[in-house]
Amino acid sequence: MKLPVKKVDIALAGDYEGFTLTIRKNFTTEQFDAIVAARETGKFSEMRNAMAGLILSWNFADEDGKSLPIGAESFKILPVEMVSEIFTKMSEAVFTVPNA
């Protein structure tokens, strides 16, 4: 039997309204270990790598309108405040337990 992939859609707000991404909610234990390790070290580069592995799709483009491939390398050219919002919203979507 095939494992399901649970998805969560995230929409950015403010100056980045219109940018959206879809992430995997039921990530693997290996991905979880990478996120925990990145949080413990506080290294932004490790967090970029860990979080990029959860992204299934996005509509991001650079300043010239060229589509950006999904991955940690693309995070390097995004504004810090945008990346911070992405990480915050991803963390909320993945780690927040909905009210029962």
Q: Are 25 and 91 in contact (CB under 8 A)?
A: no
**The pLDDT value given to residue 97:** 56
**The pLDDT value given to residue 96:** 64
pTM (predicted TM-score)? 0.83
Q: Taking phi first (over 0 means left), then psi (-120 to 50 degrees means alpha), and beta for anything else, what does residue 7 get?
A: beta
Q: Which residues contact 90 (CB under 8 A, 6 or more apart)?
A: 10, 23, 51, 54
Band (98; pLDDT cuts 50, 70, 90): low
Q: Are 82 and 11 in contact (CB under 8 A)?
A: no
The Cα–Cα gap between 37 and 46 comes to 8
